[in-house]
Amino acid sequence: MKKTLSLIMILGISFCIGGCGPSQEELDAKATEERIALYETQTAQAPTGTPTSTPTQTPTATYTPEPTSTPEPTPTPLGGGGTLAFASDREGAWGIYAIDLSLKEVTNLTLHSFGDTMPSWSPSGDEIVFVSSQDYGMEDIYIAQSNGEFSRLTINFALDAQPDWSPDGTRITFASDLDGDWDIYMVGKDGEDLTRVTNHPAMDWHPDWSPDGTRIVFESQRDGNSEIYVMNLEDNSITRITENEAVDSYPEWSPDGTQIAFHSDRTGMYQVYVMDWDGSNLTQLTDGTTASGQPSWSPDAMSLVYASWKGDTSDIYIMNADGSGQTRVTTSPDNELYPSWTNSASDFVQKPWWSEPFCAIDTDGNFDPDTVTDTFTTKDGMAFVIIPFRNMEDGMDWSHTWTNLDLDFTVLNAAVWDGGKSGQKVAYFSAPMSGVGMWEIEFKLEEELMHTIQCEVVP
């Protein structure tokens, strides 16, 4: 059974497949109920230890932007050049994927089963910020680096969502219910200097930075229904730029700073629209035959990528900025959502959320996990297979088998969890060294074989 992210249900993509479904008021009520239930459940299950670092909350916006020049867009031919990041459940759990538009090759970038979604490329193309539930089931903000390493930016028992980079690549803006209401926040890419940008009892979410770094466009229900607003970061003034009884959502600023793309159900079905950044010159881009949304601009502002339902599941499409040339990019039978486009993607090293296991032995009761060897020179004591994890949580269904290949017998033991270095968690799979010879250790997660390694015990 596939895992489903609570954020997809709670924040949603706001699409009504086939043009039907519950009203926005019903969705909002359901979202609130689910968020409260999820918070209470996960708070009860939360660890009693103190996190390694916790952002300091700032109740009001104190961030003063440094205006930056709007970069000269790099041409991006429709359907060629550049790389898309997107979220997909094609391997059973939501993960972050990338597709090279020239080669049409798809790569899984996050390689684990905890639920990753809402990716956004950094301006340099060598990092992706995204949302993950890999720690205690709560959605937090993470950064995937091109070297395969991950860093966690937010540590709290709230829901954090919809991250977006500042134009200079130093800060992240995102939506969170950290203080009880959905508001817009900022945090440094190092996880420091958490700042609350909006403070309103209504929902504020889907923030996106202007190319010059001086404004943020976002969605809010502060006037009764979902509309699009622009906040000036220099004086904190807020301007409403849409006014419609429909839901206007998911705004994204064009790279040249002149337009904002968004999706809306003004026709009764969610479609992609574009308008000037002040709300004028509204144009519907998608054809209206199926639900479409979550638009993201190409780096040259000449094209848009978006998600659309033209079947039972969602896929990624691209089109020209005037709505012409609508082209399907992904063809998986599973869901593909939250596309983001870059022209400068680095080659990402794929690293799983566990490190390679290694063998060690304890003969004096003072086990040192840094003792690494493939050959044990004693039959006494306890042997271990050690598997370091990034942010691994307890309670996963691990199983393992130790088999002495020379003496043909098997030992089964349970895993022992402990804290590792650099905040990693470590699983120790142990067995008594009751026989010389070559031991083969297989270990599985949820019945799926993950690794097989061998350790030799010599007389």
Q: Which pLDDT belongs to residue 430? A: 52
Rounded to 10 degrees, the C-alpha dihedral 162/167/168/174 comes to -20
Rg (the chain; Cα; Å): 24
Highest averaged pLDDT of the listed ranges 42-51, 316-325, 440-449: 316-325
Q: Which pLDDT belongs to residue 243? A: 94
**What is the pLDDT confidence band of residue 185, given thresholds at 50, 70 and 90?**
very high
Q: Are 26 and 301 in contact (CB under 8 A)?
A: no
Q: Is 241 helix (H, G, I), strand (E, B) or coil?
A: coil
**What is the pLDDT confidence band of residue 176, given thresholds at 50, 70 and 90?**
very high
- Residue range 36-64, pLDDT digits in tens: 343 333 333 332 333 333 333 333 445 55
Q: Which pLDDT belongs to residue 10? A: 36
Q: Which pLDDT belongs to residue 135? A: 63
Whether this model's pTM surpasses 0.75: no
25, two tokens: 């008021």
Does residue 376 have a pLDDT over 80? no
Q: For each of the domains in the chain, give its residue range(s) and CATH number, in order of start.
A: 6-342 (2.120.10.30), 358-457 (2.60.40.10)
Q: Is 186 helix (H, G, I), strand (E, B) or coil?
A: strand
In whole angstroms, what is the distance from residue 140 CA to residue 212 CA?
27
- Report how far apart, in Å, the C-alpha atoms of 9 and of each of 6, 45, 72 are: 5, 21, 38
Does residue 393 have a pLDDT over 50? no
- Residue range 222-250, pLDDT digits in tens: 999 999 999 999 999 999 999 999 999 99
Q: Which pLDDT belongs to residue 121? A: 96
Type of residue at 247: V
Q: Which pLDDT belongs to residue 217? A: 98
